[in-house]
Amino acid sequence: MPGRICIIGVGLIGGSFARALKAANACREIVGAGRNEAQLVRAQELGVIDAYALDVAEAARGADVVVLAVPVGSTEGVVRQLAPVLGPNTILTDVGSTKASVVAAVERALGTLPPRFVPGHPIAGTEKSGVEASFAELFQQRRVILTPLSHTDPEATATVRRLWELAGAEVVEMDVQHHDEVLAATSHLPHLLAFALVDTLARMEERREIFRFAAGGFRDFTRVASSDPQMWHDICLANRDALLDLLATYQADLDRLAAAVREGRGEVLLETFRRAKAARDRFTESG
Protein backbone atom coordinates (compact mmCIF):
# COMPACT_ATOMS: atom_id res chain seq x y z
CA MET A 1 0.00 0.00 0.00
CA PRO A 2 1.19 3.53 -0.75
CA GLY A 3 2.72 5.63 2.02
CA ARG A 4 1.78 9.06 0.72
CA ILE A 5 -1.10 9.96 -1.56
CA CYS A 6 -1.41 13.41 -3.07
CA ILE A 7 -4.84 14.65 -4.13
CA ILE A 8 -4.86 17.61 -6.51
CA GLY A 9 -8.29 19.21 -6.13
CA VAL A 10 -9.79 18.51 -2.70
CA GLY A 11 -13.39 19.08 -3.75
CA LEU A 12 -16.41 16.76 -3.79
CA ILE A 13 -14.66 13.83 -5.47
CA GLY A 14 -11.07 14.39 -4.29
CA GLY A 15 -12.28 15.12 -0.75
CA SER A 16 -14.57 12.08 -0.66
CA PHE A 17 -11.81 9.81 -1.95
CA ALA A 18 -9.44 11.19 0.71
CA ARG A 19 -12.03 10.64 3.44
CA ALA A 20 -12.72 7.08 2.26
CA LEU A 21 -9.00 6.24 2.06
CA LYS A 22 -8.47 7.58 5.56
CA ALA A 23 -11.43 5.61 6.91
CA ALA A 24 -9.88 2.46 5.38
CA ASN A 25 -6.36 3.24 6.67
CA ALA A 26 -5.23 2.90 3.06
CA CYS A 27 -2.09 5.01 3.41
CA ARG A 28 0.10 6.82 5.91
CA GLU A 29 -0.52 10.39 4.75
CA ILE A 30 -2.70 12.40 2.37
CA VAL A 31 -1.46 15.71 1.02
CA GLY A 32 -3.89 18.03 -0.79
CA ALA A 33 -3.38 20.75 -3.36
CA GLY A 34 -5.63 23.43 -4.83
CA ARG A 35 -5.69 27.13 -5.63
CA ASN A 36 -7.79 28.38 -2.75
CA GLU A 37 -5.96 28.23 0.58
CA ALA A 38 -9.10 28.75 2.68
CA GLN A 39 -10.59 25.57 1.16
CA LEU A 40 -7.43 23.59 1.90
CA VAL A 41 -7.31 24.88 5.49
CA ARG A 42 -10.95 23.79 5.83
CA ALA A 43 -10.09 20.37 4.37
CA GLN A 44 -7.34 19.99 6.95
CA GLU A 45 -9.66 21.11 9.78
CA LEU A 46 -12.21 18.54 8.66
CA GLY A 47 -9.51 15.85 8.79
CA VAL A 48 -9.85 15.16 5.05
CA ILE A 49 -6.13 15.78 4.40
CA ASP A 50 -3.07 15.78 6.66
CA ALA A 51 -1.19 18.58 4.90
CA TYR A 52 -1.48 20.80 1.85
CA ALA A 53 0.46 22.99 -0.56
CA LEU A 54 -0.77 25.61 -3.01
CA ASP A 55 1.97 24.56 -5.40
CA VAL A 56 0.93 21.25 -6.94
CA ALA A 57 4.53 20.11 -7.53
CA GLU A 58 5.36 20.75 -3.88
CA ALA A 59 2.27 18.81 -2.79
CA ALA A 60 3.13 15.87 -5.05
CA ARG A 61 6.83 15.64 -4.26
CA GLY A 62 7.57 12.25 -2.70
CA ALA A 63 4.01 10.95 -3.20
CA ASP A 64 3.57 7.31 -4.22
CA VAL A 65 0.22 8.04 -5.86
CA VAL A 66 -0.96 11.36 -7.31
CA VAL A 67 -4.71 11.69 -7.91
CA LEU A 68 -5.95 14.42 -10.27
CA ALA A 69 -9.40 15.50 -9.06
CA VAL A 70 -9.71 18.84 -10.88
CA PRO A 71 -12.12 19.80 -13.71
CA VAL A 72 -11.01 17.94 -16.84
CA GLY A 73 -10.15 21.19 -18.66
CA SER A 74 -7.48 21.93 -16.02
CA THR A 75 -5.68 18.60 -16.51
CA GLU A 76 -3.01 19.72 -18.94
CA GLY A 77 -1.96 22.77 -16.93
CA VAL A 78 -1.82 20.82 -13.67
CA VAL A 79 0.17 17.92 -15.18
CA ARG A 80 2.68 20.36 -16.69
CA GLN A 81 3.31 21.69 -13.18
CA LEU A 82 3.61 18.13 -11.86
CA ALA A 83 6.07 16.95 -14.52
CA PRO A 84 9.30 17.70 -12.60
CA VAL A 85 8.26 15.64 -9.56
CA LEU A 86 6.72 12.59 -11.24
CA GLY A 87 9.36 9.87 -10.74
CA PRO A 88 9.42 6.54 -12.63
CA ASN A 89 7.63 4.87 -9.72
CA THR A 90 4.99 7.54 -9.12
CA ILE A 91 1.51 6.33 -9.97
CA LEU A 92 -0.60 9.03 -11.62
CA THR A 93 -4.36 8.59 -11.80
CA ASP A 94 -7.41 10.80 -12.23
CA VAL A 95 -11.15 10.92 -11.59
CA GLY A 96 -12.21 12.94 -14.65
CA SER A 97 -15.61 12.38 -16.23
CA THR A 98 -14.14 12.09 -19.73
CA LYS A 99 -11.22 9.87 -20.57
CA ALA A 100 -9.92 10.51 -24.13
CA SER A 101 -9.47 14.22 -23.37
CA VAL A 102 -7.64 13.51 -20.10
CA VAL A 103 -5.32 10.97 -21.78
CA ALA A 104 -4.57 13.49 -24.56
CA ALA A 105 -3.97 16.27 -22.01
CA VAL A 106 -1.52 14.13 -20.03
CA GLU A 107 0.33 13.22 -23.23
CA ARG A 108 0.55 16.88 -24.29
CA ALA A 109 1.79 17.90 -20.84
CA LEU A 110 4.43 15.18 -20.47
CA GLY A 111 5.27 14.52 -24.13
CA THR A 112 4.54 10.83 -23.44
CA LEU A 113 2.09 8.63 -21.57
CA PRO A 114 3.90 7.19 -18.57
CA PRO A 115 3.32 3.45 -17.93
CA ARG A 116 2.22 4.29 -14.41
CA PHE A 117 -0.62 6.57 -15.52
CA VAL A 118 -3.97 4.89 -14.82
CA PRO A 119 -6.99 6.89 -16.05
CA GLY A 120 -10.08 6.46 -13.90
CA HIS A 121 -13.62 7.71 -13.33
CA PRO A 122 -15.85 7.03 -10.31
CA ILE A 123 -19.50 6.74 -11.33
CA ALA A 124 -20.64 8.52 -8.20
CA GLY A 125 -21.27 12.11 -7.32
CA THR A 126 -23.84 14.68 -6.38
CA GLU A 127 -24.82 18.07 -7.79
CA LYS A 128 -22.79 19.72 -5.00
CA SER A 129 -19.18 20.90 -5.16
CA GLY A 130 -16.34 21.52 -2.76
CA VAL A 131 -14.82 19.80 0.23
CA GLU A 132 -17.76 20.65 2.53
CA ALA A 133 -19.95 18.44 0.34
CA SER A 134 -17.53 15.49 0.45
CA PHE A 135 -18.26 12.33 2.43
CA ALA A 136 -16.45 9.03 2.93
CA GLU A 137 -19.37 6.83 1.83
CA LEU A 138 -19.78 8.42 -1.62
CA PHE A 139 -18.21 5.46 -3.43
CA GLN A 140 -19.77 2.64 -1.39
CA GLN A 141 -21.22 0.09 -3.81
CA ARG A 142 -20.72 2.47 -6.71
CA ARG A 143 -18.76 1.60 -9.83
CA VAL A 144 -15.38 3.02 -10.73
CA ILE A 145 -14.24 2.68 -14.32
CA LEU A 146 -10.50 2.38 -14.98
CA THR A 147 -9.34 2.76 -18.58
CA PRO A 148 -5.72 1.52 -18.55
CA LEU A 149 -3.89 1.91 -21.85
CA SER A 150 -2.20 -0.96 -23.71
CA HIS A 151 1.17 -0.17 -22.16
CA THR A 152 -0.07 0.72 -18.65
CA ASP A 153 1.86 -1.14 -15.94
CA PRO A 154 -0.54 -3.80 -14.55
CA GLU A 155 0.91 -3.30 -11.09
CA ALA A 156 -0.04 0.40 -11.19
CA THR A 157 -3.56 -0.51 -12.31
CA ALA A 158 -3.78 -3.07 -9.49
CA THR A 159 -2.76 -0.45 -6.91
CA VAL A 160 -5.37 2.06 -8.13
CA ARG A 161 -7.99 -0.69 -8.24
CA ARG A 162 -7.17 -1.66 -4.64
CA LEU A 163 -7.50 1.94 -3.44
CA TRP A 164 -10.97 2.28 -4.98
CA GLU A 165 -11.98 -1.10 -3.54
CA LEU A 166 -10.84 0.08 -0.11
CA ALA A 167 -13.07 3.13 -0.68
CA GLY A 168 -15.97 0.69 -1.12
CA ALA A 169 -16.29 0.74 -4.90
CA GLU A 170 -16.64 -1.99 -7.49
CA VAL A 171 -13.97 -1.51 -10.16
CA VAL A 172 -14.50 -2.30 -13.83
CA GLU A 173 -12.11 -1.78 -16.72
CA MET A 174 -12.96 -0.66 -20.25
CA ASP A 175 -11.23 1.12 -23.07
CA VAL A 176 -11.14 4.88 -23.28
CA GLN A 177 -13.42 5.29 -26.29
CA HIS A 178 -16.04 2.91 -24.96
CA HIS A 179 -16.06 4.82 -21.67
CA ASP A 180 -16.64 8.14 -23.42
CA GLU A 181 -19.49 6.75 -25.56
CA VAL A 182 -21.24 5.13 -22.60
CA LEU A 183 -20.87 8.19 -20.36
CA ALA A 184 -22.01 10.57 -23.09
CA ALA A 185 -25.30 8.65 -23.10
CA THR A 186 -25.80 8.05 -19.41
CA SER A 187 -24.43 11.25 -17.93
CA HIS A 188 -23.28 13.96 -20.32
CA LEU A 189 -26.44 14.12 -22.47
CA PRO A 190 -28.83 14.10 -19.46
CA HIS A 191 -26.88 16.95 -17.82
CA LEU A 192 -26.95 19.00 -21.02
CA LEU A 193 -30.71 18.41 -21.38
CA ALA A 194 -31.41 19.37 -17.77
CA PHE A 195 -29.41 22.59 -18.06
CA ALA A 196 -31.17 23.38 -21.36
CA LEU A 197 -34.69 22.74 -20.03
CA VAL A 198 -34.23 24.83 -16.89
CA ASP A 199 -32.65 27.64 -18.91
CA THR A 200 -35.49 27.62 -21.45
CA LEU A 201 -38.11 27.83 -18.73
CA ALA A 202 -36.19 30.41 -16.72
CA ARG A 203 -36.05 32.72 -19.73
CA MET A 204 -39.79 32.53 -20.38
CA GLU A 205 -41.70 35.57 -19.26
CA GLU A 206 -44.06 33.77 -16.98
CA ARG A 207 -41.19 32.01 -15.20
CA ARG A 208 -42.39 32.90 -11.71
CA GLU A 209 -45.61 31.04 -12.38
CA ILE A 210 -43.75 28.12 -13.93
CA PHE A 211 -41.38 27.56 -11.02
CA ARG A 212 -44.18 28.16 -8.48
CA PHE A 213 -46.10 25.21 -9.86
CA ALA A 214 -43.09 22.99 -10.47
CA ALA A 215 -43.51 19.74 -8.56
CA GLY A 216 -41.74 16.43 -8.05
CA GLY A 217 -41.33 15.51 -11.70
CA PHE A 218 -39.64 18.78 -12.49
CA ARG A 219 -37.33 18.39 -9.49
CA ASP A 220 -36.39 14.83 -10.44
CA PHE A 221 -35.72 15.71 -14.05
CA THR A 222 -33.74 18.87 -13.34
CA ARG A 223 -31.78 18.07 -10.16
CA VAL A 224 -28.52 17.80 -12.09
CA ALA A 225 -28.96 21.32 -13.48
CA SER A 226 -27.73 22.45 -10.04
CA SER A 227 -24.31 20.96 -10.87
CA ASP A 228 -21.21 23.10 -11.30
CA PRO A 229 -21.38 24.95 -14.67
CA GLN A 230 -17.59 25.10 -15.14
CA MET A 231 -17.24 21.36 -14.62
CA TRP A 232 -19.98 20.60 -17.16
CA HIS A 233 -18.63 23.13 -19.62
CA ASP A 234 -15.33 21.22 -19.51
CA ILE A 235 -17.02 17.82 -19.86
CA CYS A 236 -19.26 18.78 -22.82
CA LEU A 237 -16.36 20.23 -24.78
CA ALA A 238 -14.01 17.39 -23.84
CA ASN A 239 -16.42 14.69 -25.05
CA ARG A 240 -17.93 16.70 -27.90
CA ASP A 241 -17.90 14.01 -30.62
CA ALA A 242 -19.77 11.37 -28.65
CA LEU A 243 -22.11 14.01 -27.22
CA LEU A 244 -22.93 15.52 -30.63
CA ASP A 245 -23.71 12.08 -32.10
CA LEU A 246 -26.18 11.38 -29.32
CA LEU A 247 -27.65 14.86 -29.44
CA ALA A 248 -28.40 14.41 -33.15
CA THR A 249 -30.17 11.10 -32.47
CA TYR A 250 -32.12 12.64 -29.61
CA GLN A 251 -33.10 15.67 -31.72
CA ALA A 252 -34.43 13.38 -34.45
CA ASP A 253 -36.48 11.46 -31.89
CA LEU A 254 -37.84 14.72 -30.44
CA ASP A 255 -38.81 15.86 -33.95
CA ARG A 256 -40.67 12.56 -34.44
CA LEU A 257 -42.53 13.06 -31.14
CA ALA A 258 -43.34 16.68 -32.02
CA ALA A 259 -44.79 15.53 -35.35
CA ALA A 260 -46.86 12.87 -33.59
CA VAL A 261 -48.26 15.47 -31.15
CA ARG A 262 -48.99 17.91 -34.01
CA GLU A 263 -50.72 15.27 -36.10
CA GLY A 264 -52.56 13.71 -33.16
CA ARG A 265 -50.93 10.31 -33.72
CA GLY A 266 -51.41 9.05 -30.18
CA GLU A 267 -50.21 5.54 -31.03
CA VAL A 268 -46.68 6.92 -31.60
CA LEU A 269 -46.73 8.59 -28.19
CA LEU A 270 -48.09 5.50 -26.44
CA GLU A 271 -45.61 3.20 -28.12
CA THR A 272 -42.69 5.49 -27.19
CA PHE A 273 -43.82 6.03 -23.60
CA ARG A 274 -44.49 2.30 -23.05
CA ARG A 275 -41.09 1.33 -24.43
CA ALA A 276 -39.38 3.97 -22.27
CA LYS A 277 -41.30 2.95 -19.13
CA ALA A 278 -40.43 -0.72 -19.60
CA ALA A 279 -36.75 0.15 -20.16
CA ARG A 280 -36.59 2.37 -17.07
CA ASP A 281 -38.47 -0.13 -14.88
CA ARG A 282 -36.01 -2.84 -15.90
CA PHE A 283 -33.09 -0.53 -15.16
CA THR A 284 -34.34 0.55 -11.72
CA GLU A 285 -35.27 -3.03 -10.75
CA SER A 286 -31.79 -4.26 -11.64
CA GLY A 287 -30.48 -1.62 -9.22
Contacts (CB under 6 A) with ligand NAP, residues 40-69: 56, 69
**Closer to ligand NAP by Cβ: residue 12 or 20:** 12
Residues 218-277 that bind ligand NAP (CB under 6 A): 228, 231, 235
Q: How far apart are CA 198 and CA 26, in angstroms?
A: 41
Subset of residues 137 to 176 that bind ligand NAP, contact rule: CB under 6 A:
none
Amino acid letter, residue 190: P
Contact indicator for 210, 201 with CB cutoff of 8 Å: yes
DSSP calls for 192-214: HHHHHHHHHHHTSTTHHHHHHT-
Contact 112, 83 (CB under 8 A): no
Q: How far is the CB of 253 from ligand NAP (least distance, A)?
A: 26
Which of 129, 147, 157, 239 lies at the binding interface for ligand NAP (CB under 6 A)? 129
Stretch that binds ligand NAP, among 11-19, 59-67, 104-112, 251-259 (CB under 6 A): 11-19
**How near is the Cβ of 251 to ligand NAP at its closest, in Å?**
25
96 is a contact residue toward ligand NAP (CB under 6 A): yes
- Closest among 4, 150, 124, 126 to 63, alpha carbons compared: 4
CA-based nearest residue to 173, from 75, 241, 165: 165
Dihedral angle sign, alpha carbons of residues 45, 51, 55, 57: negative
Stretch that binds ligand NAP, among 70-78, 84-92, 156-164, 189-197 (CB under 6 A): 70-78
Q: How many CA atoms lie within 13 A of 232 on its CB side?
A: 21
- Minimum distance from residue 3 beta carbon to ligand NAP (Å): 23
* Piece in contact with ligand NAP (CB under 6 A), picked from 33-41, 83-91, 104-112, 189-197: 33-41
Q: Which stretch binds ligand NAP (CB under 6 A): 12-20, 155-163, 211-219, 243-251?
A: 12-20
What backbone phi and psi angles, to 5 degrees, belong to 227? -70, 165
Q: Binding residues for ligand NAP, per CB under 6 A?
A: 8-14, 33-36, 39, 56, 69-72, 74, 77-78, 95-97, 121-122, 125, 129-130, 228, 231, 235
